Every structure is written in C-alpha cells, then in structure tokens.
Structure 1
C-alpha cells in the first residue's frame, strides 16, 4: 500500500498587538474566531506590566478546530515587561518601533524552524513597524482597526485629502465635514481627533503611516464593527479601494468565564429586577476628579434606582477623602461600587437597564450588542462621534455633559429608564442586540467576512504563495446582492 502524502501545515496567522489592553483584547478575540475556523494562530505583543493575556495557549480540540498560541515578543534589546520606561506611552511606542522589527523577524524565523511557518501577519493600527517588517519578509498583511468604521472613514479621508475638513479654530455654523455614509460632523466633534494635533505628534505619524499606504500595503482592513450597523460607511471606503472587512463585534461571549468573581457583581445583579440597575463605567483611561465623583454619587442617589459603579483604583487614589465618603454614603443598600468588573457580562445581565458611559468604541459596541440604552458622556478621541451615532443615528440613548453634574445625571437616567421615549429606546436597543448576535453567528455578515479570509489563506497555503502582491481580495458580498 502506497503511503499517503504528508498533510500540509494548516495556515498560520501571526497577530501583532499594540501594548495596550484595549488593543490586545479585540485582537485576541479575533484570534479565537480564527482558531475556531481551524487555523493556527499565534498572538504576540511587547508585553508590559498590567497587560492581561488570559490563561495562555488555548488548544481548541475537535474536528476542524485550530489553536491559539500566545508568545510575547522578546530579545533583540526589547525592554523587560517590568521595565519602568514602559509606563510612558510615547517612550514605549518609540522603543517598540525601534526594537520591534528585529524581534518580530526573530519570532517568525523561530516559527518556521518549529515547523509552523507564518502564512500571514495581522497587526493593530498604530504598529506600522509590524506591517513593514512583514512586508520585507514577503508575507501577506492585514490590519485590525479596533474603532468604528465611521472613525476610520474620517481619518482615511483626511490622510488622503479626499474631503475638506473645518479649520481647528472654526466655530462658524457651517464648520462641518460630510463623508460617504456618515452624518454631518461638526468641528467640536472632530477636534479631539489626531487630525488636529501637530504633525510631529508620534501617534499622528503612526496613523499616517498606517493609512497612507493602506490600499497598497495591506490585503485586508478588518474593522471591529458589523455591516448592518455601518453599511454605508463600509461601502464608502470600499468605493475608495480600501479592502474593508467588518468582522465584529469582537466581544467575549456572554457565558465567558473570568478568573475572579467580578467583585460579586453578578451575584449582586441576580438579586435585582430586570432592567432596573444603572451601570456606570468610564473605561480604562478616563480620569475623574473629586468634584465629578461627588456629583455622580449625588446624582445616582437622587435617582432612587439601584446602581453598579466602576470606580477604578487609579481614580480612587487621586480622590479626596470627602469624595470617597460621599460615594460610599450614596450607596446605601441600593448601590455597589467596585474597582473593576467584566463589563460585557454586566451589560448582558438582564438586570442592567441603563449604561452611563464615556462612549469608547469597545463600550459602544458592547452596549449595542447587549441591547442596553445609554447615557452618553463623551470625553475625547472618537467618543464624541460614537455618542453622536448612539444618540442621533441609532437613537438608543441621550447625551449628558462632561463632566457630569448631579442634576444632569439624574435627569438623563430618568429619561432613558422612565421617560416618554424609554420604551422606544429599549426596543431599538433590543433590535441592535439581535443584529449584532446574528452578524457573528454562522452565516452572518461578520462570520462570512472571517470565513472568506480563512478560505483565502487556505488557498495561499496550498499554493505556497508568499507575497502579498500575488493576492487579490474580493469584498464579501451581501446575500441580497
């Protein structure tokens, strides 16, 4: 009997994340999706203190299942994870830009020597060095954009001078920009963005490097969104030859387990009625001062509704004793204040009825996927644009000032949870929950995008192709096209 030919190695995707938790999480979730489709996936980043990578390597056993491996960048002069110089984000970015290419090339070499040659590299935005290094090795490349397609459109049109943007200091009524698939965006919604910082700003330079040659350098621009949510923005970018592939929302499943008990949050929520709890969280970066803490505490107490408030340890450390006492006093028997929780699980809990949020994209996507109406209090970056969509386009919430005041918070919570439009907001939010769930399930719009990528890598692997120039990507078609 003739011996069968040895099986070809499965396609191997190397994921490279920027060393921020908000960048790590979505790329890891994409890695789990790809492993579930049968691919070998290696995740890497310049590991630094405070970054959570989960439990390590995950062998998804079973027919058609792949594996997700975690292997941090190391050697070639890269700082150790506990090096204090990592604490400054600019210093970190400059160092990784200098040391990263060599460490990545070494990692790719070691994968080949271990019998698992890399087929493709996918990197976050803001790590352009990884895409350059992969290109020098002749590997196909993709980029993951972790924010909305609307924001990607804003930056792409600005970098390529495809639209006229308002001047930085313009307050005229007509100071707006109109982009394909987006509502008119006003100057005050654009000012927090990197387009209005100095050209020598490091993060602006990385953004320009990422998007300036994106049409030529990458074969896929994955976006943490879903087609039904941002169809017009997706099509607007594809019409400008940007190979956009919506693959979101990139969220942990509602039944995902964590290493802790969420500070007792889930058990506490279990004791409350459906849609009765106000959830307050401002992400991992927003700083709030003593005055705002006191206002939030008083505003929550004034609602008379149970609330769960995430007040991070680094925020508590800067607060006055009186502010902390006011927060503790406001809780009584109906409130709970914690330093951290698994936000997706809290939003997915039936007791959560309203989300007071800074409108970061991850929080925005989680709120829509959980079907929870919002009180939007945006601060910077893309948050004002996200708030605009939540309130004016999707109509699943109301806008509150930043910083929050007690009267504004109380009034907004009441409007979302008990006002004349509250039930309509809840119904619209529930519809987005259904759309988000359908997108990531088998055959949904985002699942089709992931599957098309897997199919293309399988063809590359079988053909032994190695250069991105040989690859021609066709956008995923809608079922009704």
Structure 2
C-alpha cells in the first residue's frame, strides 16, 4: 500500500519545530508518510532528544532528514537576522537537492511540501518543482495579520518602509485583537538593539510571508474561537489547533534539550493546585539583577515552585543565585535545566503558569485550564501576552520599576493576586473547554484537518 509522501520544513527554532512535528505525527496517524527536514544543527539537537533514532513512530513513520544552514558550527544561532539571512539562500538550494534525491528513490515521490510560514523563502523552490504546497503558521493568527497589514501601517505613517516605528504609539488592527506597542513589533523586538538588523529582519520576514501567499493551502496552529477577529484579517487561513500530543494520546518530540523528568515525581508529592510553574522557553535571557529578583520573588511567595533554569538563561546561572537561596528554598523549590513541559502543565499539582508567552506555551497553558503570569521577552510574545491579559483575561502582566526591573515585591504581589482571583480561574477553565472542543470530533479545527487530509490524498 502506498502512503502519500509529504516533506515538512520548519523554521530552525524550538517553537517552530515542535508544532510542525506534532502536525506530522497527526498526518502519519491518518496514513501519510513524512520526511521532516531540519537544518543540521537543529537535527543534531532533536536526535539527541530521541537518543539518536532518525525516525519517529511506527511502520509509515516520520523520517528525519537534514540540510545545512550555511553557518559554521561555532557561529551564534541566537543572532536571528544573521541566521535568517544565511539560511534563506542555503536552505532553498539544499532543499531542492534533497527533493530531487528523494524523488529518484523507489519509496514514492514527494507529493506535497508543508513549509513553516517563517521559512516561506523556500516556497519558490517548491513552485518551480511543481509540487503542491501548504504553508503552516505556528503562531497566533494576530501575529500573521500584523504582517498582512504592513502596507497599511506604512500608508498610515505608523512605520516607515524599513519597518522602523515613526514614533512610540499603540497599534490595534481591529477590535478584540491585541494592542501592540509600536516599539515592540515582532521585528523590532528580536533581541538585538541594532537598527540595521531590525531593518534586515523586517525585510526578510516580510518577504518570507509574502512568498507564503503562493501556497495552495494555508493552515495554522490556532483555534478560531480564541481569536475570531484575527481570522477576518487573514483570508483563507484554516485553524487546525491546538496541536498537542495529549490530544492524540501521544508523546511530545522535537525538544532541543534533554528533559529532566525527575520533577514529575516531585510534583506527585505536592498538593493539588499548589505549584507555580516557571518556564521562559528557549530564548529568554535575564540580566543577573533581574534573575536574582525573580529568585527572591519566588522565595517570598512562600509557595512551592518548579523553575526551569536553562544553563544559558543568564551569563552564569549557577553563580547568579542570591546567596543561600538554594538552601533556603530546598524544601519547596525544584530547579531543573529543562522540563517535559506538556506533562508538567497537565499535572494536577500545578496552580499557574509563569510564562514567556510563546504561542506553543500559551496554547499548552490554555489547554490545561491554567491562569498565567506573563513575562514576554521578544517577537510575537507581546501579542500573546495581550491576548492572555487584555482579551481572554486569564492572566496578569508585571510592572517594571523605574530602572526597568520587575521587583521581588511585584512578583509576590502578582502571584498572590492571580492565585486569589476565582474569576480568573473560572475563565481559564472556560477557555480550556473552547480550545479542546475545536479538536474533538466535529469541532472546527478537526473538520479543517480532515479536509486537509482529503486534499493531500486527492
């Protein structure tokens, strides 16, 4: 029996690989074969998580392949504008070679390519090869709407033609869509303060998303009822989310870091709804003073907490803890380098999610009915924070002091406020129901996914 052969191409970042790999596992479950193409650097990290297996799943499994990203092994892959600049050219060339190679093999030609919208620069290659193309948007639809509205933002004098904000102001694309600070647009908040790299990032992202418009099919990891107004701004996009392993009774894969599962045993010993889970994704970096205030703030809450402290979250994570902090919190604070997040969030002892508001984390928290404390770092995370706090009202933002620090007192106060507010908890449970209903039999996301499968197999 021959299975339709699909090539999946994520953008090389953790928050992009995980949802596309989850979509790939759903496709395999419905009788497709998937070759999943990472850059070599990402491939090594994913293989490490999978203990060197180069495939996922059973008979018609997901085969993991890799292509170069054009960077030297020692170069900094957190310099996003440089990564995008280099990978754009190299990935496109190497992708064409890989497709030709696969098509020469006896295992069945590629009949469809699913590309991450941020890697839309590969779309012309797929077009040239006359293969059907699907674009997958892994973030909130509101963040894609922002790119679609760029010509209008330029016409209205909000940004110049290089994407630079003309002045600091609040932008709202439509009612019930997050308000965006013009100085925190996706491309102006990507870590670097350098104006040239902002302009370059703007151009690269905008061109990628423009190229994505040539797709035959546009899908996203979102839920219509979570952001209905945003869907009116992006024609033809179909939600198929939330894409979570728990929904298909599977396991999460694609982590760039080795997960420390010992924290699950620790969670088993805690009271229901008592633990604050603190995790800021794979990019957030905290300056030492801020790191210490966060540690002291968690200590001040007097509540049990599970804190994911990546070795690179601050310049010297192990040296950075306040004096005696680890000894003082030893009984109720659990510190890990990386956690099996989806298992943690679904654990009955978790009370709230203290998050950087990446879209995957946002959907995971929402799908588990949790209140949030929001600590966005860059890119689309400010849009997600606004959804959580301003529109869905299931979380709280932090205020910074005059020197730009979120103080320990502010942390303690917001933890108490969010955990003491029954209406926030009630809304979080309603939102959970909304999200999960969409992927149940007959739900809007589930129907869209079925249509996609039929189209692929047609």
Structure-1 residue corresponding to 2:221: 224
Q: Alpha carbons of 1:296 and 1:326: their partners in 2 closer, same or farther (altered >3 Å)?
A: farther
**Higher RCO, 1 vs 2 (CA within 8 Å, ≥6 residues apart):** 2
Who is 1:410 aligned against?
A: 412
Aligned position for 2:429: 430
Who is 1:466 aligned against?
none
- Structure 1 stretch 268-277 or stretch 96-105: which is displaced more? 96-105
1:256/1:456 CA distance change after superposition, 3 Å: closer
Contact 1:223/1:244 (8 A) holds in 2:
yes
Matches within 5 A, 1:179-194: 179-180=173-174, 182-183=176-177, 185-188=179-182, 191-194=184-187
Give distance in 2, aligned partners of 1:379 and 1:94. Answer: 22
Q: Which moved more, 1:322-331 or 1:137-146?
A: 322-331
TM-score, length of structure 2 as denominator length: 0.86
Distance 1:347 1:94, change over 3 A: same
CA–CA separation in structure 2 for the residues paired with 1:163 and 1:305: 51
1:109 maps to 2:100: yes
Please report how far the alpha carbon of residue 152 of structure 1 lies from its aligned counterpart in structure 2 after TM superposition: 0.8
Query: In the aligned structure 1, how far is the partner of 2:121 from the partner of 2:229?
Result: 31
Answer whether contact 2:287 2:315 (CA < 8 A) is retained: no
**2:327 equivalent in structure 1:** 329
- Note if 1:152 corresponds to 2:147: no
Q: C-alpha separation between the residues in 1 aligned to 2:201 and 2:81?
A: 8
| Cα gap change, 1:230 to 1:165, in 2 (>3 Å) | farther
- Could you tell me how far apart the structure 1 residues matched to 2:27 and 2:348 are? 30
Alignment partner of 2:66 out of 56, 62, 72: 72
Is 1:458 aligned with 2:457?
A: yes
1:397-432 Cα shifts (integer Å, max 9, x gaps): 1111354210111000001112xxx22111111122
Query: By how many angstroms is 1:441 displaced?
Result: 2.9
Aligned to 1:98, what secondary structure does the other structure show? Answer: helix
Residue number among 104, 127, 131 corresponding to 1:135 in the alignment: 127
Structure 1 vs Structure 2 CA RMSD: 2.7
Which of 36, 44, 47 is the equivalent residue of 2:29? 36
Structure 2: how far apart are the matches of 1:454 and 1:100? Answer: 27
TM-score for both structures, normalised by structure 1: 0.82
1:257 and 1:400 mapped to 2: Cα distance?
33
Q: State which drifts further: 395-404 or 251-260.
A: 251-260
Q: Does 1:97 align with 2:85?
A: no
Cα deviation, residue 91, structure 1: 4.2
- Partner Cα distance (2:24, 2:10) in 1: 11
- CA distance in structure 2 between the aligned counterparts of 1:145 and 1:123, rounded to whole angstroms: 9
Q: Is the 8 A contact 2:357 2:375 kept in 1?
A: yes
Q: CA deviation at 1:48?
A: 0.2
User: Residues 414-463 of structure 1: CA distance to partner in whole angstroms, max 9, x if unpaired?
Assistant: 01112xxx22111111122222222223332222111111111211xxxx
Q: Which residue of 248, 260, 267 corresponds with 1:269?
A: 267
- 1:52 maps to which of 42, 46, 51: 46
Is the 1:289–1:318 contact (alpha carbons within 8 Å) kept by the matching residues of 2?
no
Deviation at 1:279, TM superposition (A): 0.9
Q: Which runs of 5+ in 1 are unaligned?
A: 1-6, 460-481
Structure 1 CA distance for aligned equivalents of residues 177 and 85 of structure 2? 36
Whole-Å Cα distance in 2 between the matches of residues 200 and 178 of structure 1?
Answer: 21
Which protein shows a greater Rg?
Answer: 1
Gap runs ≥5 in structure 2: 160-164, 190-194
> Which stretch of structure 1 is more off in the superposition, 275-284 or 435-444?
435-444
Pair 1:22-2:22 in alignment: no
SS of the residue corresponding to residue 354 of structure 1 reads: strand
Write out per-residue CA displacement over residues 123-146 of structure 1, whole angstroms, 9 at most, x where no aligned residue.
112323321110110112121211
**Distance in 2 of aligned mates of 1:330 and 1:231:** 47
Aligned to 1:471: none
CA contact (8 A) 2:8 2:34 kept: yes
